[in-house]
A and B are shown apart, each in its own frame.
Chain A
């Protein structure tokens, strides 16, 4: 079954530094999506990358996808204390297909 698995499980950085989070999965995908979750809150959609795309940007976010390695990375540049949250990758196998989430990465950005 498809499964997003992120690493590292926890990341602590200083404000202003870049944060790189990785996600691996096991089977073919249609899309890969990254979400952010503040403690006890909902899932906020960050970015979607399709299987035929290699890189996407959105503001301070950069996502790459390597389907040959079945992996994706999320880069947050110039991090801020407000970026402190859990980050999840989620994959789907096609139209109307469920999302399969990883366990998430806890990012702490120290002011």
Chain B
């Protein structure tokens, strides 16, 4: 069964460093998303991406965050200068169409020290 894959599964980084989290969405999907889950808390929406541009973003997704689809398969989330409070599980997700089932990857644990 097709799945969303994410790398790395776990990354430890020093505060202030840049981090890039990578995702390969399901191949024929058109909508891409990033969500995050701070330990013990709700899953929170960060950003959605369609037709090579951001379609919606949350208040969390400030100027320190950016997304890119550099080629036909990868979808990346970059955090320019990480803060301690960025420590969380980051989930990539994709869907074929808007309003359809959204499939999530296994997540990337980010620990900022």
Contacts and interface: CB of A to CB of B under 8 A. Distances in A.
Interface residues of A, number: 25
Contact of A94 (B33, B99, B104, B105): B99
Interface in B72-113: 89, 91, 93, 97-107, 109
Interface in A68-104: 88, 90, 92, 94-104
A30 interface: yes
Given A30-B99, A92-B99, A98 B56 contact: yes
Contacts of B65: none
Interface string A35-57: 10000111111001000000000
* Residue among A40, A42, A94, A102 with max Cβ neighbours from chain B (10 Å): A42
B14 interface: no
- Give the secondary structure class of B's interface: strand
A95 B43 CA distance: 20
Contact of A95 (B42, B45, B98): B98
Given A95-B97, A96-B98, A43 B48 contact: no
Interface string B9-40: 00000000000000000000001010100000
B64 interface: no
A72 to B, nearest CB: 16
A98 B107 contact: no
A96 B43 contact: no
Interface of A: 30-31, 33, 35, 40-45, 48, 88, 90, 92, 94-104
Closest 7 pairs (CB-CB, A-B) = A96-B98, A95-B98, A42-B106, A43-B104, A98-B45, A95-B99, A101-B43
Given A44-B104, A97-B98, A98-B33, 18 more contacts: A33-B102, A35-B104, A40-B89, A40-B109, A41-B106, A42-B91, A42-B104, A43-B43, A45-B103, A45-B104, A94-B99, A96-B50, A96-B56, A96-B99, A97-B56, A99-B35, A101-B43, A104-B42
